[in-house]
């Protein structure tokens, strides 16, 4: 009897995992084809199955960036960083967003953090840091 219960639990959990992964992949396809509303819906579906899907939150932030919805972009970037404080792309994008909002101190703090752990965004981070420092001097 316990074997049957374990088998049922296993089947249910793998089905949910597959469904969540499927939604994410569909969302990426829609995003790449600039079908932002469909992509947004798929990423939100993925989050239902996997609430800790930092990639779905990151893509949502990119969608909101393209739609010029800065508050929603910021919310999703903060969620990515909460889930993974070492996510370079989210940290960099949030720093740029804060710079555009004239939050020079917040942007500088994020860039300083990013420079301490960056692997892929090091050069971009240094350039943004110089831009922030110029803005602070004005």
The residue among 80 and 125 whose pLDDT is bigger is 80
Each residue of 31-64: pLDDT tens digit? 999 999 999 999 999 999 999 999 999 999 999 9
Tokens (6 digits) for 89: 């792309």
pLDDT band at 138 (very low <50, low <70, confident <90, very high): low
Query: Which tops the pLDDT comparison, 129 or 32?
Result: 32
- Residue 9 has a pLDDT of 63
Residue closest to 90 by CA, chosen among 127, 49, 60: 60
Interaxial angle between packed helices 88-100 and 54-66, expressed in degrees from 0 to 180 and rounded to the nearest 10: 30
Question: Using CB atoms within 10 A of its CB, is residue 5 exposed (0-12), middle (13-18) or buried (19+)?
Answer: exposed
- Domain 1-69 fold is 1.25.40
Question: pTM value?
Answer: 0.80
Please tell me the distance from the alpha carbon of residue 1 to that of residue 10, in angstroms, as a whole number.
Answer: 14
Taking residues 106-135, report their average pLDDT.
Answer: 86
Structure tokens, 98: 């804060």
């Amino acid at each position: 009897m316990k074997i049957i219960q374990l088998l049922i639990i296993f089947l249910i959990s793998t089905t949910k995992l597959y469904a969540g992964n499927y939604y994410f992949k569909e969302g990426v396809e829609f995003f790449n084809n600039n079908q932002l509303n469909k992509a947004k819906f798929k990423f939100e579906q993925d989050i239902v199955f996997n609430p800790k899907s930092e990639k779905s939150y990151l893509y949502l932030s990119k969608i909101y960036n393209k739609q010029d919805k800065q508050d929603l972009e910021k919310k999703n970037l903060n969620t990515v960083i909460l889930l993974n404080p070492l996510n370079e792309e989210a940290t960099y994008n949030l720093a740029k967003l804060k710079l555009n909002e004239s939050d020079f101190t917040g942007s500088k703090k994020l860039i300083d953090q990013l420079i301490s752990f960056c692997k892929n965004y090091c050069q971009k981070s240094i350039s943004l840091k110089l831009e922030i420092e110029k803005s602070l001097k004005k």
